[in-house]
Chains A and B, each alone.
Chain A
Amino acid sequence: MTVEIATPAVPTRPPARKTRSVAAPTKRGARWFANIALVVIGIAFLVPIAWIVFSSVDPAASVSIELPSKITFDNFAQVFDFDLTIRPLLNSAVISLGAALLTVVVGVLAAYPLSRFNLRFQRGFLYGVLFGSCLPITALMVPVYAMFVQLKLLDSIPGVILFMAATSLPMAIWMLKNFMDSVPISLEEAAWVDGASAMRALTQIVLPLMRSGIGVVFIFVFTQAWGNFFVPFVLLFSSDKMPAAVAIFTFFGNHGAVAYGQLAAFATLYSVPILVLYLVMQRVTGSSFALAGGVKG
């Protein structure tokens, strides 16, 4: 079955062939129309991505896309500097790993009672979690800044990790609870009969059975933290604590107008890790829908 699109006029075919399928004549036209539309949309999505790739290896990159006259890795060599790119990338890694680990550990602990028992405040808590997962976090940044002033957490990487973990937690609890719901209870009941504690049943039986779900949540939080610009932009000031997102922004402000090649090289170094992680996740779950699927519940 295919959902067809209104088709441009196509020459009518001889009725003899029409008997094969009722939809045959329009189907071919629809296919052509769909392919042309896909090519046009594809080009629109390709061009900005291709600009980054071409510029990163172009010795004379400009703001407009052009095929590099010769391919060079000078741009990468020039940005490959501890203060400029390596430390920011390491900071990004520390922040993203910290936020993802903390979210997964706290999220699994919270998901367990929500999935296994009917707690008396269950519904209220789940509504709260769902509500928290949809709030636009950027709207919170000014009050968060004011609160961090009081808590003396400004310009601290652990502060950023705690905040990022808290903001990804609602979505993580929601996804982890759904993954945990699909692990059958009967296995745990057997363990309980054998005298295992709830925590032991969780770590020995439930977690191994939902490791791909945990992987999805980990990568989801990691990707969000890695790409986050606004949170570190507001909460950190020292240049030695800046993650790559803010470092690229600063770099662009200082050199961008003259060094598009270097900017593109830096952007490539910064983007590749999460593109790879996304591919890993597709392998783990067998579908590109994993992220959106978790979101849908």
Chain B
Amino acid sequence: MSVSSPRLRPAPRGAGRRRSALLSLSRSTPLIPALVLLVVFLVGPMAFALWGSLTNSALSGYRAAKPQFIGLDNYTALFADKDFWNALLLTLIFVFFSAIVGQNVLGLSLAVLARTGSKVLSRIVSALVVAAWVMPEIVAAFALYAFFSSDGTLNAALKAVGLSGVSWLIEYPMLAVILANVWRGTAFSMLVYSAALSEVPPETDEAAQLDGTNSVQRFFLITLPIIRRSIATNLMLTTLQTLGTFGLIWVMTSGGPGTRSSTLPVLAYQEAFKFAQVGYGTAIAAVTIVLGAVFAILYIKILKPEVES
């Protein structure tokens, strides 16, 4: 009958719906500060994004104080804008190659190698990978900017083996920021996969070994299916973290040359703050949030059992 069923101090039977509603309400008072913060600073901006994208809001002056409602004009302009489609494509390329392929494959490989290789060596390598992840984004961005710049370490190394260097940040800006993001973010996948692999029961592997399978077959046919939930969770999380990458790209290329590396967050920033088109920038933000929401919902579907429990 009653919807709320307190685990402690059960309400007396027959006390009625109203009493249990009151109890539920009084018990949730400690939630109020969290609710206020979340509603004002998280739900608020999202509502603002949807409303703001329907206005011609500007950065300063009259249009900033009194933006006018212009309906779907920002979206019509957005969908007709070559830069937007370019940014959407670059964002998908960035997420696919740096998160889904790069970080996941390298993270899983590192987790596997650490179990096979020497213990001391794998501890040192893990520490380096984690350090790249823990250090502040801006510091990582500078270190990688230096690595890829024309007189940087990469070209110096290429010259040392007799190859001629390239201006990576100008000729291949997307390749540089993708590799940079793999460098920065692989630690997360590595940690998730090492934990997942350590939970694979050794018996299954040994049994398969007796059946005469080789190690590659065992890895793809036994280990991977066992850790599939971790793989799915990790794919979603790395995708969502990568979707919002700004600092790394901004420091390394500023979205350039031209618009050759401006992903959606970079384009939204440029439109809003460089060209003072806040309404237009907000429409880009709204599209990015919707894109993120789709992935977030997929991720929640995977985690569903944990909320229900």
Which A residues fall within an 8 A CB radius of B?
1-7, 22-23, 26, 30-31, 33-35, 37-39, 41-42, 44-49, 51-52, 62-65, 105-107, 109-110, 112-114, 116-121, 123, 125-128, 130-132, 134-147, 149, 162-163, 165-167, 169-170, 173, 185, 188-189, 192, 198, 223, 226-230, 233-234, 244-245, 248-249, 252, 256, 260, 263, 267, 270-271, 274-275, 278, 288-289, 291-293, 295-297
Contacts and interface: CB of A to CB of B under 8 A. Distances in A.
Contacts of B233: 296
B205 A249 contact: no
Given A35-B117, A138-B265, A141-B285, A271 B33 contact: no
A41 B106 contact: yes
A99 B139 CA distance: 21
Contacts of B197: 3
Contacts of A7: 215
B124 interface: yes
A119 B146 contact: no
Contact of A249 (B9, B27, B138, B209): B138
A134 B240 contact: yes
A66 B91 CA distance: 35
Contact of B191 (A62, A226, A292): A292
A242 to B, nearest CB: 12
Interface in B205-232: 205-206, 209-210, 215-216, 218-219, 223, 230
A64 B151 contact: yes
B113 A292 contact: no
B122 A38 contact: yes
Could you say which of A1, A51, A125 has the most chain B C-beta atoms within 10 Å of its C-beta?
A1
6 contacts: A49-B131, A140-B45, A140-B289, A143-B48, A147-B48, A192-B9
Interface in B97-146: 106, 109-110, 112-118, 121-122, 124-126, 128-132, 134-140, 142-144, 146
Given A140-B45, A166-B42, 12 more contacts: A5-B113, A38-B122, A52-B142, A62-B151, A119-B27, A131-B297, A136-B292, A142-B272, A165-B37, A166-B37, A169-B42, A274-B136
A45 B118 contact: no
A130 to B, nearest CB: 5
Contacts of A289: 191, 194-195
